[in-house]
Amino acid sequence: MRATLMYGAGDVRVENVPDAAIEQPTDAVVRVVRACVCGSDLHPFHAMPAGEQGQQMGHEFIGVVEEVGSEVSLIARGDFVIAPFAYFDNTCVFCREGLTTSCEHGGFFTTAQAEAVRVPLADGTLVKAPVGEDSALLPSLLTLSDVLITGHHAAVMGQVRPGSSVTVIGDGAVGLLAVLSAKRLGAEQIVLMGRHQVRTDLGRAFGATDVVAERGEEGIAKVRELTGGHGTHAVLECVGYMNAYEMAVGAVRNGGVISRVGVPQYEEAPIGFGSLFGRNVRLAGGPGAQRPYIEELLPEVLDGRIEPGRVFDRTVTLDDTPAGYTAMDERTALKVLVQP
């Protein structure tokens, strides 16, 4: 089958690989109907050392079940399914608490930009959706694989509630869907920090009340100016770089929460008296592939109450996936849909 491989920074190729196949009795094979390129795929696209061995790419997909292992009982051949970017058994102690990214037997998908994917722990991982392959809802359903549940996680971990003031750092797909999620949870003021007008316009459509294009100290000053000098109850950090963390520290209100969902590109950061401790600022967040989120949000996607699929602004064929990486890297596309 055809699959996307990265051989090093800037070097993405689509090649033939062995077909996805059942290996464990709890596996399923899903034929990919839609996949996409993630902002986090751009980190290796910038930094991966060149090598002989290509690495399969992609962790977001929806599709149709082609085959199931002998111990799979909740899904069947022909089902249309959503796969979150992590797989899990949905029965271990962490899964039962709703923290499926910490499943004791789980892991993360790394082969979704392809014609088909082997899905471990299929009963736990896959969520059925009552749609056909030609549904107009496919882009929105695909956001349940990552960017919507990640934006929602940012808002939930940021304890956004009716009346909250919220800053969202980052105008990528996750940032924009963090705006949508904060709005959905009742935030009153949503300040979107981003500088690409097409994106921030979509952010306004999703519920942003203010847009701040400035960065660094200037950006912090703008957020404080918009919030009576105090900063916001929650800052949803949807980027992952240190300068975004520093802006979050500057923009958060005393006693508030910095909720991170951008994968941190740093390990150490300031958390002492002058940054978090003295002001009782809290820090939260992490990977957001929690199955309960999909179950909560799917009905609203199906009935059109939310339209997260609006973040997709380009579609490529599987063979054109490398062009999708380039478009996202050059910011000529916000989020690229891959149609095998």
Given the complex with a copy of itself, which of 141 and 157 has the nearer CB atom? 157
Task: Record the tokens describing residue 9, joined without a space.
Answer: 């920074």
Element (H, E) at 246: helix 242-251
* Strand order from edge to edge, sheet including 2-8: 11-16, 2-8, 55-56
Instruction: By CB under 8 A, name the one of 42, 131, 221, 276 that touches a copy of itself.
Output: 276
Instruction: By CB under 8 A, name the one of 48, 263, 302, 323 that touches a copy of itself.
Output: 263
Shortest spacing between CB 109 and a copy of itself, in angstroms:
16
Shortest spacing between CB 138 and a copy of itself, in angstroms:
29
Contact between 270 and a copy of itself by CB under 8 A: the answer reads yes
The strand pair at 232-237 and 252-260 is best described as parallel
Quick one: 10 exposed, middle or buried, by C-beta within 10 A (0-12, 13-18, 19+)? middle
Q: Which stretch binds a copy of itself (CB under 8 A): 216-224, 275-283, 307-315, 327-335?
A: 275-283
Given the complex with a copy of itself, which of 204 and 279 has the nearer CB atom? 279
DSSP 128-181: E----TT-TTHHHHHHTTTHHHHHHHHHHHTT--TT-EEEEE--SHHHHHHHHH
Give residue 249's identity as a one-letter amino acid code: V
Q: Which stretch binds a copy of itself (CB under 8 A): 46-54, 137-145, 171-179, 265-273?
A: 265-273
Distance CA 87, CA 109 (A): 7
CB count in 10 Å sphere of residue 310: 19
CB count in 10 Å sphere of residue 81: 21
Instruction: By CB under 8 A, name the one of 260, 291, 310, 314 that touches a copy of itself.
Output: 260
Q: Which stretch binds a copy of itself (CB under 8 A): 95-103, 123-131, 166-174, 304-312?
A: 95-103
Contact between 236 and a copy of itself by CB under 8 A: the answer reads no
Given the complex with a copy of itself, which of 114 and 261 has the nearer CB atom? 261
Contact between 241 and a copy of itself by CB under 8 A: the answer reads no
Count the site residues for a copy of itself by CB under 8 A.
35
Give residue 114's identity as a one-letter amino acid code: A
Element (H, E) at 73: none
Shortest spacing between CB 327 and a copy of itself, in angstroms:
27
Contact between 303 and a copy of itself by CB under 8 A: the answer reads no
Interface ranges with a copy of itself (CB under 8 A)? 93-94, 97, 99, 101-102, 157, 230, 254-255, 260, 263-264, 266-287
